[in-house]
Amino acid sequence: MNPPKKDQFRQLTASWLLLITLTLLGLALSEWFRSATWLPALVAAIIWLKGTLVARNFIGTHLAHPFIKRVVSTFVLIPPLALIATAFFGETLARWASL
């Protein structure tokens, strides 16, 4: 197995720093705009972006078979959709899930 090239190291470092920045941005937004109705949608977008970054730069989905790429993309999309569903339709979902 070949060692990673220097340009890959820079790309991985930049991705890692972007992940940290997005995490801190999410924390700051939740502190500053705690009661904003648009906050769950923005946080869901940040979660999706972070998942996409991890899948592409650390898992290597851009090199994978298209089926695997679609499966991982779907897996990355589920948490943001669940966040939006519970944020905007939480009472309805809880009523549907209760006995």
pLDDT along the chain (99 residues), means of 10: 69 93 93 90 95 94 93 96 92 84
Q: What is the domain count for the chain?
A: 1
Residue 1 has what pLDDT? Answer: 52
Examine residue 65 and state whether it is found in any structural domain, yes or no. yes
Examine residue 63 and state whether it is found in any structural domain, yes or no. yes
Examine residue 13 and state whether it is found in any structural domain, yes or no. yes
Domain region containing 39: 6-97
Residue 98 has what pLDDT? Answer: 82
Examine residue 62 and state whether it is found in any structural domain, yes or no. yes
Examine residue 90 and state whether it is found in any structural domain, yes or no. yes
Residue 4 has what pLDDT? Answer: 56
CA angle 25, 30, 36 (to 5 degrees): 120
Residue 95 has what pLDDT? Answer: 86
One-letter amino acid at 68 equals I
Examine residue 21 and state whether it is found in any structural domain, yes or no. yes
CA angle 44, 12, 64 (to 5 degrees): 75
Examine residue 41 and state whether it is found in any structural domain, yes or no. yes
Q: Indicate the DSSP class of residue 32.
A: H
